Amino acid sequence: MKFYLFIRYFCCMNYPQILAISQHFALQGNILSIVPFGAGHINDTFLVTTSLQKYIIQRINHEVFKKPAEVMANIATVCRHQKQHLAALNQSSDRQILEVIAAKQSEETAEKLFIQDDRHNFWRAYLFVPDTVTFDVVSNADQAFQAGKGFGKFQRLLADLSPSLLHDTIPNFHNLSWRYEQLENAIQNSLEDTLKAAKAEIDFALQHKNIATELANYLQDGSLPQRVTHNDTKINNVLMDVATGEAVCVIDLDTVMAGTLIYDFGDLMRTSLSLSAEDETNLDKVQIRMEIFEKLVEGYLSEAKFFITEKEKSLLVFGGKMITLIMGVRFLTDYLSGNIYYKIKHPNHNIDRCRTQFRLVAEIEKAEEKMNKFLL
Ligand code: ADP
Ligand code: GN1
Ligand code: MG
């Protein structure tokens, strides 16, 4: 992956260009190296090492996030709020809360949390959180517990922040009915051969459309109150301490906005229950590990118990099914539309990802009753 990113970005954005961008931020020390970093599907991430510190410099994908200024305003609001809570608890924010590094400024201008380059790209910088690792796949129950606890604490520190204070950085992000409309449009406009290749997946999606209605009902009848949620709680969006294995810092805050708690727990289920990767092509490897589910629940509830309602708790597993379905629908839509949204490594990447999602939905359906019993 790293090599792929290297080729992709160092060909179109060479080292001097990224160096020039880095120099717009108030970094300490002299820049020693810049390397592509991470495995995200959306932004372009670089690790910048100076003689004194390490930093993350990111190009915000403005095709996806149309208003980068609003993304950064949300991040500032959320981080400030969480820091205040930690201070009230006499806890340090060091390493726990993302630290945005502002752009260099002259004294009279307001603090700028991002810059725009001459190609109209938007860039931001964070302090690198040291001595941490991320996992794309959960390999043991302790990791599941810590991931659940990390995101549970993240939500806990935001439980009293009004969602109305945040911008909608991607409208309709987890609106499953809207995602189905997008899929149906893509089906209408897709080429015959592409449709043929995805027939089984299209059928699966359409057979599960009732889940969108179910979600809409829960939103309407108040079962799922609006909260400030992360909305992209992929397992690799929490940094774990390299020595203790404890969750340290939740990252990738671009989609923090109004949502429901089941979206966050749902994406945790989606990205941790199976030992298989998101783009695994051997679908028999997509299997639910009950012990991982149980530890994920335990870790999450150790923090969420302070604010979760009984009704929300009873819908956590539904959240896992719904979020896994929505990701499958989104990958399928992107495949049918010519792969315009997600980064891909080969033409079938999105349909491969869709297949694992739909297999996981089917596996969750089989285990749903058992999982819900555990939550009682
Ligand atoms: P994307 O939206 O593309 O997923 P992320 O913000 O999740 O981008 O960053 C990509 C990767 O970079 C993460 O998975 C993590 O490994 C690393 N990363 C991002 N921010 C930091 C940070 N502040 N400290 C340490 N590592 C980070
Ligand atoms: C994207 O940025 P990243 O890789 O953490 C996507 C998520 C999907 C995920 C699937 C803004 O997340 O919604 O769940 O890929 N982020 C956006 O792996 O669309
Ligand atoms: Mg990420």
Residue 212 CB contacts under 8 Å (≥ 6 apart), including other chains: 176, 177, 179, 180
Atom of ligand 1 nearest to the CA of 43: 3
Which of 65, 97, 130 is the endpoint of a domain? 130
What residue type is assigned to position 162 of the chain? S
Q: Assess whether 229 and 338 both reside in one domain.
A: yes
Residue 28 Cα, ligand 1 centroid: separation in angstroms? 20
Residue 42 Cα, ligand 1 centroid: separation in angstroms? 11
pLDDT at residue number 3: 43
Q: Assess whether 154 and 122 both reside in one domain.
A: no
Which protein residue has the closest C-alpha to ligand 2 atom 1?
41
- pTM for the model: 0.94
DSSP structural state of residue 285: G
Contact assessment for residue 274 and residue 287, using Cβ atoms and an 8 Å cutoff: yes
CA distance linking residue 149 with residue 106, whole number of Å? 41
Q: Is residue 225 part of a domain?
A: yes
Q: Assess whether 145 and 103 both reside in one domain.
A: no
pLDDT at residue number 188: 98
Which of 95, 130, 165 is the endpoint of a domain? 130
Pocket around ligand 2 at a 6 A CB cut-off: 40-42, 64, 232, 234, 237, 252, 255, 278, 327
Q: Assess whether 232 and 125 both reside in one domain.
A: no
Q: Of the residues 136, 168, 173, 232, which should be mutated to test ligand 2's pocket, given the most ligand atoms within 8 Å of the CB? A: 232
CA distance linking residue 85 with residue 104, whole number of Å? 28
Q: Of the residues 66, 234, 254, 271, which should be mutated to test ligand 2's pocket, given the most ligand atoms within 8 Å of the CB? A: 234
Which protein residue has the closest C-alpha to ligand 1 atom 4?
40
pLDDT at residue number 10: 46
CA distance linking residue 288 with residue 366, whole number of Å? 10
Q: Is residue 252 part of a domain?
A: yes
Q: How many domains does the chain have?
A: 2
Question: Side-chain half-sphere of 335: how many Cα atoms within 13 Å?
Answer: 25
Q: Assess whether 295 and 185 both reside in one domain.
A: yes
Instruction: Check if 293 has its Cβ closer than 6 Å to any atom of ligand 1.
Output: no
Q: Assess whether 273 and 341 both reside in one domain.
A: yes
Q: Assess whether 70 and 212 both reside in one domain.
A: no
Q: pLDDT tens track of the chain, all 376 residues?
A: 444 444 444 444 678 889 999 999 999 999 999 999 987 889 999 999 999 999 999 999 999 999 999 999 999 999 999 999 999 999 999 999 999 999 987 656 667 999 999 889 999 999 999 999 999 999 999 999 999 999 999 999 999 999 999 999 999 999 999 999 999 999 999 999 999 999 999 999 999 999 999 999 999 999 999 999 999 999 999 999 999 999 999 999 999 999 999 999 999 999 999 999 999 999 999 999 999 999 999 999 999 999 999 999 999 999 999 999 999 999 999 999 999 999 999 999 999 999 999 999 999 999 999 999 999 8
Domain range enclosing 58: 4-130
pLDDT at residue number 267: 98
Q: Assess whether 344 and 371 both reside in one domain.
A: yes
Q: Assess whether 163 and 98 both reside in one domain.
A: no
Which of 102, 130, 158 is the endpoint of a domain? 130
